[in-house]
Amino acid sequence: SWPSAQDQTRNAEMSEGQLRTTHLYDSTSLMAAYTMTSNLFSYLMPVGSFWFGFTAQDPELNKDPSILAWMSTASSLTHKEIWRSNFQREMFLTIRSMVVFGTGVISVKKSGKKIVFKSHHIGFMAFEQNSDQEIDTVYRQIFYTVRQAAQEFGVKNLNKSAKKAYDKNRMNDKFEY
């Protein structure tokens, strides 16, 4: 029901984001997953509507007109930033992951002045629990090309394999981090 993610381990011949187009005989489950994802996304985050707002935890503060005005402005600015970013696309993929696999993971980071959202397949995540059975650590398997790793960590900090590929100008070779 999700051809590009049906293998939780990456096929060496497939690049990230590549869609599987072979051995698809019946698209019923694919279309059902896509339709359910679209409906959930539309109901949870309707385009053109404020689907959340901020309020103060203390009910007395919510009676103050200046605080209400500040909360309204903060809500408007947050909605504007979310819709300006790549949030819609990444949240759609995360909801689709929840529909197909039963779970999904999304990360948020700031890149310059932009907020960047990224959905991740659960197969590239590992979770650890503390003694109270609460998840307190999340590990994510990341694949960078040599060029991306050099940009992220600097050439002098590349591991031996990536450094060897860098020296041979094989910038598209991928390594796990």
Q: Which two tokens stand for residue 13?
A: 């011949």
- Residue pair 16/47 in contact by the 8 Å Cβ criterion: no
* pLDDT tens for each residue of the chain, 177 residues long: 555 554 444 445 555 555 555 566 667 777 888 888 888 888 888 877 888 899 999 999 999 999 999 999 999 999 888 888 888 888 888 888 888 776 777 778 888 888 888 877 777 788 899 999 998 998 888 889 999 999 999 999 999 999 999 999 999 999 988
Give the contacts of 8 (CB within 8 A, at least 6 positions apart). Answer: 121, 122, 123
Claim: this prediction has a pTM higher than 0.75: no
The region, left, alpha or beta by phi > 0 then psi within -120 to 50, assigned to residue 48 is left
